[in-house]
Structure 1
Amino acid sequence: MSLRPNLWTKYSANGSSCVEVLLTENEVLVRNSLRPDAGTVSFTHAEWDSHTQGHKLGVFDLPR
C-alpha cells in the first residue's frame, strides 16, 4: 500500500485496532482512527523512511 498525499490512509491488521497515516509535503502524521481527536504523532520523511525500512527488516518484531 502506498500513501497518497494529503489523504488519511487507514490500516488495520486485526480488524479492531486501526491506525491512520497522512502524508504531507513536510511530514507524516499518524493517529488512532477510533479517536482521531486524541492527537497525532508526526515524523519527518527521513524518520518515516527509517521506520518503514526497519519494519521490513523485522527490527520491531516481538520475540517469539
Structure 2
Amino acid sequence: MTLKLHQWTKYSANGDNCVEVMRTADEVLVRNSNRPEEAPQRFTFSEWEFFTQGAKLGVFDLA
C-alpha cells in the first residue's frame, strides 16, 4: 500500500485497535485512531523505510 500525501490511512486487524499513518512532505506520522487528539509519533522517510523493511522480514514479530 502506498501512503497518500496528507491523508490518514487506517489499519485495523481486529476492529478496536487501530493505527493511522500519514505521509507529509518530509516525514511520516503515526497515531492511535482511538486517541487522535494526542500528538502523533514522527519518523523521517529513512526511519520509516528501515522500520517497514524490518516488519516485512518479521524482525518485530512476537515469539
TM tier, shorter chain? Answer: over 0.9
TM-score by length of 2: 0.95
RMSD of equivalent CA atoms: 0.6
What amino acid is the match of 1:53?
Q
2:25 corresponds to: 25
Count of paired positions:
63
1:22-43 deviations in Å (ceiling 9; x for gaps): 1011000000101101111000
Q: Which runs of 4+ in 1 moved over 6 A?
A: none
- Identical residues among aligned pairs (%): 60
Cα deviation, residue 13, structure 1: 1.1
Gaps in structure 2 of 5+ consecutive residues: none
1:8 corresponds to: 8
TM-score by length of 1: 0.94
